[in-house]
Structure 1
Amino acid sequence: MINVVKSQPAPLCLAEEAKKKSGDYKCGEVLIRVRSDFHNKCYICETKAPTTINVEHFKPHKRGKLKLLKFDWNNLFYVCGHCNNTKLAKPQYDDILNCINPDNRIVDLIEHIFDPLKSDSPDFKAQIQTQIVLNTVALLEEVYDGKTVLKKIEAENIIDALTKEMNNFVYYATGYLKSDDNPQEKRDFYELIVAKLKPETAFTAFKIWVVKSSPKLLKEFAQYLPQ
């Protein structure tokens, strides 16, 4: 999970739909804008171009005053079906780190760890022991573990994609560190690493932590790390 910037102002149709008895919060350009803002990635698992897409209400909307959250542009997030269903209707996950809030520096607050040679699933470590961080860690763990047979299969599919992305990135990082005697090769690996650290790539948080965990890589690529 990484931070993203939500485009402003809100789509004009949201205010109009909010006046209706059964208004549609996915109106007009909402889907296109939210897809672009979140780089066509699920904001929780960071799967790129998910095949099941939901526009999620980050904070649940209810009748009365909270009904306004249904049409609140800053409450509409891009999420895959697996993560949305994992988070749905669980009060613990109503209070997690908000990736559009720049004060919630997610990649600094949660270490994302995955080495496919050592583990079948990722690990997440809270860097501070606050409840909101712990809730977010719990959600990420459930997303990648799955508690039902269906959810376990979906999680395995996400991990397969994560494995491919991380194997490529570690290959680039290792190649960069070992190519001091070949300047052209070193430049090639440098450019590949920079490209893979862009926020629009899949599973960016895991790659950020590969860099953060290596003093040599961090020295060279700190300027390219998304927040």
Structure 2
Amino acid sequence: MPDGFADLAGPMTLLHVSSELLRTPQRPDAAREVRDWAARRLEDVHLPQGQWREFAPTRPGLEDTLLARHVTQGHLLELLWMMEHAIAADPGFAVLTPQRRADLARRAADVGWDAECGGVLRYTDRDGGIPRGEPIAGSPYEALVADTWDTKLWWVHAEAMYGLAFYAHVSPEMAAAAARVAEWTMRVFPEPGAEWLQIRDRAGEPLNKVVALPVKDPFHIARALLFLNRLSA
């Protein structure tokens, strides 16, 4: 994490883990405190009205940098279903509004979809398209964004499938977006009779390159498919 920024992944993970702990028989009070802190952090820092910040600047002068402008569609859609799970588990809990959550899902679907080749781009600018903005010298994360923004990854698509499923009922537009992502994902990633080929290039062809993790990671796939089966049951 470059100096001068706060990451969305931290409070997102804390929200999810604490919400899951509150489903256990022990229901520790500390988990409720962490969940509520994470929700406030997400609302105030990363998802204030009209904004979506993967990396939120913590000091002036960084708003138009590449790090501040880039967004990760897979992360936002993953966070949104985590919010929906947390709310379902505790009806007294509130984070954002239903309309705001649906608006964010729509925005992720809009800016993340690759109109040229299909599928969900790994990174885009917050206004869509190739990530842009002023660089910060020496940031390895910037090199990652610049080098892999147009790749198509297993976890992004698995999370997008499940995240968009929650909002397919909102409008015909969102139903079409959810169906479009699901069709492309299940046509491109699963190898018939085998397993998912996790890393693809922009056109959806297998890419023999370490892009995210240097391991074979089935976690996002299994989780998303299990949760989708629950929704359809």
Name the TM-score class by shorter chain: under 0.3
Taking structure 2 as the reference length, the TM-score comes to 0.24
TM-score by length of 1: 0.25
Q: Which has the higher contact order (CA 8 A, sep 6+)?
A: 1
